[in-house]
Amino acid sequence: MPEASVQRTVEWVDTDASGHQHNSAILRWVEAAEAELFRSLALPDYFPSAPRVQQVINYQAKLWFGQRITASVRVQALGRTSLTLEFEVLGHPLPASAGTPDGGTPDAGSPAAAVVAAYGTVTTAHVPASSATAQPWPPHFVQALTPDALSPNSP
């Protein structure tokens, strides 16, 4: 299924009073990856017609000011009127000298590889401007998200 990723740096505005990422930062990064996905599929009409109907976020690790992250989204399921994206936000290691507001080191005891900071799903529904209720996805949208249409071996 189609997927996309973005890389960002945790900025001061992304943190809360605890010194690590605010819960809303995860969704902003996921939405940036979502925008990249639909730009890459040439589906700009997705955003004005795809309100969120469910968001599930599982937090696994803290992210600190200055830390690099990668947010990735992948199409998990395409229904008649809904779309579910699964996502993952990875935190890349900070140097041990960076320190954290709690006096520790951000990657103490963790491997040098990126760690999953958050994962989950976002489900949207197709609600075109002319409708107050969910409607079937248009054919061009379904075709763009169909794995066979993306396969280099498809006829």
In order of start, what are the domains of the chain with their CATH numbers?
3-96+110-147 (3.10.129.10)
CA 140 to CA 60: how far, in whole Å?
37
- Residue 106 scores a pLDDT above 60: no
Indicate the residue type of 24: S
Distance between CA atoms of residues 127 and 9, nearest Å: 33
Q: What confidence category does residue 154 fall into, taking pLDDT thresholds of 50, 70 and 90? A: very low
Between these two residues, 154 and 97, which has the higher pLDDT value?
97
> 109 falls in which pLDDT band (50, 70, 90)?
very low
Question: Is pLDDT of 151 > 70?
Answer: no
pLDDT category at 102 given cuts 50, 70, 90 is low
Q: Do 27 and 89 meet the contact criterion of CB atoms below 8 Å apart?
A: no
Q: pTM to 2 decimals? A: 0.84
Q: Which pLDDT score is estimated for 107?
A: 47
